[in-house]
Amino acid sequence: MNENDPSLPSAELTGFVHEWPASRVVFGPGLISVAAREASRYGDRIAVIHDPTAQSAADRLTADAAGGVCARIGEVVQHVPVHAVDKAVTTIRDARAGVLVCIGGGSATGLAKGVARKLELPLVAIPTTYAGSEMTSIWGMTQDGKKTTGRATAVRPRTVVYDPELTLDLPAEISVTSGINAIAHCVEALYAHDASPLTRLTAAEGIRSMARALPTILERPREVSARSFALRGAWLSGWSLEVATTGLHHKLCHVLGGLLDLPHSPLHTVLLPYTVAHLAPAAASDTQAVLESLGITGPVSDAGGLIWDLHRLLAAPTALAGIGMREADVDVAVAAASAVLADLPLPPRPVTASDLRDLIREAFDGNRPASR
Ligand SMILES: NC(=O)c1ccc[n+]([C@@H]2O[C@H](COP(=O)([O-])OP(=O)(O)OC[C@H]3O[C@@H](n4cnc5c(N)ncnc54)[C@H](O)[C@@H]3O)[C@@H](O)[C@H]2O)c1
């Protein structure tokens, strides 16, 4: 924690413990061609869970596996409902699968993690968004509007195949919010009290890769080199999420997303300028690293506003009111967030109930965060 000297990076003051998560990463355009071979490293009866938009990638894998695919599930919904996991577990257990492959965004990966956790199956992930879940041991499920999350090494994919060609049809607006969601993971890792010097490098490089890619993707969504940079950023962001403890941003998204059923990556996108504006005064060096990695020049005291400006340039949503939150939800959200987060020792700067009221109100209206 760097409360005492905000000019120093968080990780430099406390010492650190670093564990290198063991997953194999295969990265390159067209590498869906190796997915069947990667899966067969872990078992010979393959079950595939895929996003509906990844139908042709799943067909390709099925053809390459030459009879080795024993079950396919092509229905994926957001937030990983427990009943969907239970249904998929029954199908995949009955098919006597020995290995599980998921192709899709965080929702497909989440469903597959739920199954992998129950059946103790090795998982191979082929992401098609920038969510980063494929690099983590974090699982999450919802039931009756409540999201439960946890960590289990067993759900972390053994191999991740990153094929930028599978992301060429990701619509520009989803690419932008998904990309900023990845940036937010990296920002949190830069602020994290348990970040290591290595995390700082990967998080900064993750932000740089994504920030470089997004403007091009907006203009030319099918450009493979821009998609490669973005997916590279997503990999580094997922890695950062895995190795550093999450802070205010992620925890607030978790509370609001679960409570109000707001869409995951737009919510991360809208809140980022406001959470950075709150944290910047306590972590000048970390915030400077965020701005530099984003390619932004300007004072740390205006970091939230500068990030908000960038989001406007990328045509990203900037107000909670614009992504499904209602005026009447503001007080409910403030009460729920305060109950969970107020006055916790959250590095680099705790939030009070009053901070949360201001932050959520500002984010609801979507005004440019004031300089601190
Ligand atoms: N466990 C973790 O470590 C972790 C990390 C990040 C996110 N998550 C979870 O992931 C979920 C959000 O993931 P997401 O943002 O990827 O959303 P998502 O998987 O729901 O995908 C968003 C939309 O994009 C579409 N899509 C996906 N790939 C596409 C492609 N290549 N082309 C066209 N359309 C495509 C999907 O059909 C969907 O409509 C949330 O539930 C979140 O909690 C978990």
Nearest alpha carbon, ligand 1 atom 35: 170
- How many CB atoms are closer than 10 A to CB 55? 13
Assigned token pair, 51? 């996003």
pLDDT digits (tens, 9 = 90+) for 77-95: 988 999 999 999 999 999 9
DSSP per-residue codes, 306-365: HHHHHHHHTT----GGGGT--TTHHHHHHHHHHHHHTT---SS----HHHHHHHHHHHHH
Residue 144 Cα to ligand 1 midpoint, Å, equals: 21
Q: Is the CB of 105 under 6 A from ligand 1?
A: yes
Among 9-18, 95-104, 320-329, 332-341, the minimum mean pLDDT is found in 9-18
Assigned token pair, 58? 């799943």
Decide: helix, strand or coil at residue 71: strand
Structural domains present in the chain: 10-18+170-365 (1.20.1090.10), 31-162 (3.40.50.1970)
**pLDDT for 194:** 85
Decide: helix, strand or coil at residue 5: coil
pLDDT surpasses 80 at 9: no
Among 59-68, 187-196, 208-217, 313-322, the minimum mean pLDDT is found in 187-196
Q: Which atom of ligand 1 is nearest to the CA of 169?
A: 32
- How many CB atoms are closer than 10 A to CB 193? 19
**pLDDT for 12:** 55
Q: Is the CB of 104 under 6 A from ligand 1?
A: yes
Q: Compute the 3-state secondary structure of the chain and give helix, strand, coil in percent, each to the nearest 5.
A: 60, 10, 30
Residue 316 burial by CB count (10 A; 0-12/13-18/19+): exposed, middle or buried? buried
User: Of 6 and 320, which is predicted with more confidence?
Assistant: 320
Residue 264 Cα to ligand 1 midpoint, Å, equals: 8
Q: Which residues of 251-287 are buried (b: 16+ CB within 10 A; e: fewer)?
A: bbbbbbbbbbebbbbbbbbbbbbbbbbbbbebbbbbb
pLDDT surpasses 80 at 357: yes
**pLDDT for 372:** 78
Give the pLDDT band (50/70/90) at residue 1: very low
pLDDT digits (tens, 9 = 90+) for 112-123: 999 999 999 999
